[in-house]
Amino acid sequence: MPGSLAKSLEKKLKSIVGETGVILDRDRLLAYESDGLTAYRSLPMAVVFPRDTIEVSKVLGLLSKEDIPVVPRGAGTGLSGGALADDRSVMVATSLMNRILTIDSDNRIALVQPGVINADLTEAVSPFGLYYPPDPSSQSACTLGGNVAENSGGPHCLKYGVTSRYVIGITVVTYDGTISRFGGFGRELGGYDIVGLFVGSEGCFGIATEIEVCLLPKPEGAQTLLAIFDRLEDAGKAVTTIIADGLLPAALEIIDGPTIKAVEESIYAGGYPTDAEAALVIEFDGIKAGLSADIERTTVHCREANARDISTAESEKEREVLWQGRKKAFGAMGRIAPDLLVQDATVPRSTLPDVLRRISEIGQSYKLVVANVFHAGDGNLHPNILFDRSDPDEVERVELASKEIMAVCVEAGGTITGEHGVGLDKLSYMSLVHSREELEAMQVVKRVFDPKGNMNPGKVIPDLSEDFS
């Protein structure tokens, strides 16, 4: 039945999720044509909107009987082409599964449906003095289900860790409709760490329909420092020495020259000097009594790395100004080029100066603008390549440059993705970091959850019948 959903199946799906819970017409399907990585596009056969675990189970049970592939989707902000379905597949969207089921402030845990927006959870637990630490820059839009699937990070994950540290239990519906529950706070269960394994599985094992997360008390205070550098490499050096000195900022982000220019030329201008090659935004949080000492030590490191200007902020308002350039970077870049390829890789921090230099050389050799804005403290790079999709020559250069950038990161001891996942986009790079045996091991693990290979097919694991070395 490729390309069209048989009437009888449509009727059955609607009997589960209601008349409005199934989208079939092309115009409305267009909204589901791609995720945040718009280079990949395809229209799903249909999009279905279940409201709870039971409905997901019934929907999957039905689709699996017909052998129809399933692609889960949260908010579609993913940057690796993960939530992409072709016309033989049905997309199961979690946007109606957006309820926070319980908040247990005594035990600092919450149980949520997967369609809850990341920032909404923090807002909901805020009256209890709590928050949910992983804070992807997309947090006002992305869902917790998407975060689980991608093991998302964010600026403050340097100190607090990424999603996998906070997910303590999940309910999963696998392709045949089976509902299983794993983990949970307050108990030590036998068996393997399936929660840990599921986090980062990119929708390939099943759909997370309920997620139990732990929360932290809001830090008492925060201080932010903005350091401006004439050379990007110097900013990279400052990052290395700050971390090597035993300082642990909550966030340590780099914004490079092209990004600063983009921001300053946009409505988000925050007063960063446009002739600078880099700015570091460094934030410390925690008990107020300790913050000034950390800021002072950090200032010394920045000075020693030739920072030309350093400013600090304590009040919420002042801090927002210093963060402006970082937070609005993606929005601003969208205004100076029609297309943007957000790359993602992690390298050991000490290699940052060298890797940044080599990325800049790659950009120059392909005549491309590469703008870096990234989680420097974690060594998690985002070299963003600005381009115009309508120019085939430029598209080809973007592809070649991306490939070289990935190779440089791997050569430096790093990996091909730190937080955006493999999806479709990084399939061809998987062999740079994994042996065939390791990829086969991933494949068999997927098969245990999804024997038919119909959960988000074609993602994460490259075609192993191809020859690669």
Partner 1 sequence: MNSIAEFLANKLSKRQVVDGSHTEGWAVCNRFPHAVVSPDNETQVAQILSLASAEGWVCVPSGKGTWLKGGHPPKAVDVVINMANMDHVSAYEPDDLFITTETGLGLDILSRYALDRGQWLPFDPPGVKGGSIGATISTASAGSLQAGFGRPRDHILGVTLATGDGRLLRLGGKVVKNVAGFDLLKLAIGSWGTLGVLTSVTVRLHPAPVLDRTLLFQGTDVSSAARLANAISRSRASFAAVEMITSGEQEDKGIYSLPFVAVRILEPLPVAEEITRIICEQVHATPFMCLEGKDSQLIFDDIQTMENNAEMVLRLSLLPSKLSNLVERTKELRELVDPNVDRGIRMAAHASTGVLRIMIARLNRRKGWLEMLASSLSNLRYLLESEGGSMVISQGPPEIVEIVGARGKLGSVTELMRGLQKEFDPSSILAPERIIG
Ligand X SMILES: Cc1cc2nc3c(=O)[nH]c(=O)nc-3n(C[C@H](O)[C@H](O)[C@H](O)COP(=O)(O)OP(=O)(O)OC[C@H]3O[C@@H](n4cnc5c(N)ncnc54)[C@H](O)[C@@H]3O)c2cc1C
Q: Shortest approach of ligand X to residue 143 CB, angstroms?
A: 3
State which of positions 103-132 bind ligand X (CB under 6 A): 114
d(CA 409, CA 416): 7
Residue 296, number of CB atoms within 10 A of its CB: 11
Burial class (CB in 10 A: 0-12, 13-18, 19+), 389: middle
131 bridge partner residues: 216
Residue 102's nearest CA partner among 216, 215, 217 is 215
Q: Shortest approach of partner 1 to residue 426 CB, angstroms?
A: 7
| Interface pick for partner 1 out of 379, 383, 457, 458 (rule CB under 8 A) | 379
Binding range to ligand X, per CB under 6 A, among 21-29, 38-46, 72-80, 212-220:
72-80
Residue 382: HSE in the Cβ half-sphere, 13 Å Cα cutoff:
30
d(CA 371, CA 388): 15
Q: Is residue 378 close enough to count as binding ligand X by CB under 6 A?
A: no
Q: Is residue 339 close enough to count as binding partner 1 by CB under 8 A?
A: no
Per partner kind, with CB cut-offs from 5 to 8 A, the member of ligand X, partner 1, none near residue 104 is partner 1
Q: Shortest approach of partner 1 to residue 286 CB, angstroms?
A: 6
The smaller minimum CB distance to partner 1, of residues 163 and 324, is found at 163
Q: Is residue 378 close enough to count as binding partner 1 by CB under 8 A?
A: yes
Q: Is residue 149 close enough to count as binding ligand X by CB under 6 A?
A: yes
Burial class (CB in 10 A: 0-12, 13-18, 19+), 314: middle
d(CA 205, CA 449): 5
Q: Is residue 161 close enough to count as binding partner 1 by CB under 8 A?
A: yes
Q: Is residue 65 close enough to count as binding partner 1 by CB under 8 A?
A: no
* DSSP codes, 24-41: -SHHHHGGGS--S-TTS-
Q: Shortest approach of ligand X to residue 37 CB, angstroms?
A: 8
What 3-state class would DSSP assign to 79? coil
Q: Is residue 89 close enough to count as binding ligand X by CB under 6 A?
A: no
State which of positions 79-138 bind partner 1 (CB under 8 A): 104, 106-108, 129
The smaller minimum CB distance to partner 1, of residues 319 and 434, is found at 434
d(CA 412, CA 397): 23
Q: Which tokens hold the place of 233? A: 């490499």
The smaller minimum CB distance to partner 1, of residues 180 and 274, is found at 180
Q: Shortest approach of ligand X to residue 283 CB, angstroms?
A: 15
Q: Which tokens hold the place of 389? A: 């999709």
Binding range to partner 1, per CB under 8 A, among 22-30, 53-61, 134-142, 198-206:
198-206
The smaller minimum CB distance to ligand X, of residues 53 and 360, is found at 53
Residue 102's H or E segment, with its range, is strand 100-104
Binding range to ligand X, per CB under 6 A, among 77-85, 174-182, 239-247, 432-440:
77-85
What 3-state class would DSSP assign to 451? coil
In one letter, which amino acid is 294?
Answer: D
Interface contacts to ligand X, rule CB under 6 A: 35-36, 71-79, 82-83, 94, 114, 136-138, 142-143, 145-147, 149-150, 152-154, 202-203, 207-208, 330, 419-420, 456
